[in-house]
Amino acid sequence: MKEKLDGKKKANKIKLIFIIILIAILIAYALYAAWQLFAYPTDVFLVEEGSITEEQRAEGYIIRKETKVQGNNYKNGMVQIKAEGEKCAKDENIFRYYSAGEENLIKKIQELDEKIDEAQKNDTSILLPSDIKLLDEEIDLRLAEIAKNNDIQKIAEYKKEIENYITKKTNIIGENSKAGSYLSNLIQERKNYENQLNSGSEYMKAPMSGVVSYKVDGLEDVLTPDDFSHYNRSFFENLNLKTGQTIATSTESGKVVNNYVCYIATILKKDQLHDIEQGDNLELRLSNGDEIASTVENITEQANDDVLVVFKISKDVEKLINNRKISFNIIFWQYSGYKVPNSAIIKENDLAYVIRNRAGYLDKVLVKVEKENESYSIIDNYTAEELKEMGYNSKDLQVSTKINMYDEIQTIANKNL
């Protein structure tokens, strides 16, 4: 009996030791798994269509053909005839300066308009043509447009049209009134003031065709496209321009800008060029996200591994009128296809693989890397012909050779699987 009890105790002791060892193994495995997860974090990535680029951040200076326009009476203040960004032809009036005593003259003309209107209502001898009614209707329409419009440029246009209609109306009334009448005298007095107002104004004409701008910064004759050879890092730094700063609107002068072409000049280091050459077509991404097409117009190596690169812009020139110095991205190339993180790519013997996860089953898949940047790659499947040319077939490789959209793939944590 005693021997039986001793045997039972011995068996229980062995079981206990076995359980303790098993628990210790499980704890060790859990710790190892936790360490593996910490050291090599596991992630699952869904294969989807995407694009990758190789880009370089740069700061550039806007260079354009532009001519500043300023008259003798610039201290009087100015009236815009052509609005900011509006196109003009050569010799077309773009703005004018106020004449001396203009405020007083305008006030007198307005007072006369009121007297003329009152006199016209009281003079029943005047037979007014239908033109007057049409002009009144046009004036009412423009007043209604002004009341519901928030566009300053449009409001200015409507006010100018109303002034023209009033002038036409006054002239018609004068032609139909009795000679020497009180009304005729008022109309003649108004014409005299109007002539005085117009003769005292200094009108400024466009020296060339282009786009009118009142963003004048004094660099119109400094940053020109005539000769790029004198541009270098110290030249640009001495301009003391702030990146992205909008050029202030001038109240004394304007300018006409060539709206067909402008240039962006930047200084890069040699190792930032990515083998670009003169004549290459590249996309530039502006700070607001817009992408504009460009051509490399000039590349000049300078001291201290500096390289002057000048990009020619032939579209969307108007987008760059408000600034002189900007930040932008040079897009050296852009590629689209199945986009995956580089951490999911396994490279062995000049071949590339990914680990696909389907319901917990891990499968090694051969893929072709089309293009890669620092973070992502564009991958595709090899064709049967390509595999044959490489001297392989799917049986020799003993791996899958087809990746599909929306497949789940593992990142670097599972590269040893």
pLDDT at residue 114 in the model: 73
The stretches of 177-242 forming alpha helices (DSSP H) are 182-200, 233-237
Q: Which residues pair with 64 in a beta bridge?
A: 262
The DSSP string of 65-90 is: EEEEE--TTGGG-EEESSPTT-EE-T
**Cβ(56)–Cβ(272) under 8 Å?**
yes
Q: Which residues pair with 301 in a beta bridge?
A: 307
> Which contiguous run of DSSP H or E holds residue 31?
helix 2-39
**168 compared with 295, residue with greater pLDDT:** 295
Q: From the CA atom positions of the chain, what is the Rg in Å?
A: 39
- At residue 181 the predicted structure's pLDDT band, cuts being 50, 70 and 90, is low
pLDDT at residue 37 in the model: 45
> Dmax of the chain from CA atoms?
153
Nearest to 326 by CA among 63, 45, 30: 63
**Two tokens at 246?**
């909008």
Within 10 angstroms of residue 296's Cβ, the number of other Cβ atoms is 18
- At residue 342 the predicted structure's pLDDT band, cuts being 50, 70 and 90, is very high
Percent of the chain exceeding pLDDT 70 equals 75
pLDDT at residue 417 in the model: 44
pLDDT over 80 (residue 188): no
pLDDT at residue 310 in the model: 97
pLDDT over 70 (residue 101): no
pLDDT at residue 302 in the model: 95
Q: What is the pLDDT of residues 257-301, one digit of tens each?
A: 999 999 999 999 999 999 899 999 999 999 999 999 999 999 999
- At residue 414 the predicted structure's pLDDT band, cuts being 50, 70 and 90, is very low
Beta strands in 148-274 (DSSP E): 202-205, 210-213, 254-269
pLDDT at residue 173 in the model: 63
Angle 369-371-373 (CA atoms, 0-180°, nearest 5)? 120
Beta strands in 321-373 (DSSP E): 325-341, 346-348, 351-358, 361-372
User: Could you tell me the CA-to-CA distances from 208 to 71, 74, 224, 318 in Å, in that order?
Assistant: 16, 20, 16, 17
Percent of the chain exceeding pLDDT 90 equals 46
The C-alpha atoms of residue 262 and residue 264 are separated, in whole angstroms, by 7
Query: What is the domain partition of the chain in residue ranges?
Result: 1-39, 44-52+337-414, 57-68+211-334, 99-200
pLDDT over 50 (residue 359): yes
**Cβ(151)–Cβ(181) under 8 Å?**
no
- At residue 8 the predicted structure's pLDDT band, cuts being 50, 70 and 90, is low
Q: What is the pLDDT of residues 36-58, one digit of tens each?
A: 445 444 578 889 999 999 999 99
pLDDT at residue 40 in the model: 47
Residue 358 C-alpha from the chain's centroid: 42
With the C-alpha atoms ordered 29, 32, 36, 38, is the resulting torsion angle positive or negative?
A: positive
Query: Residue 325 has what DSSP assignment?
Result: E
Residue 333 C-alpha from the chain's centroid: 19
pLDDT at residue 174 in the model: 60
> Helix, strand or coil for residue 246?
strand
pLDDT at residue 141 in the model: 80
**Quick one: fold of 44-52+337-414?**
2.40.420
Q: What is the pLDDT of residues 214-265, one digit of tens each?
A: 999 999 999 999 999 999 999 999 999 999 999 999 999 999 999 999 999 9
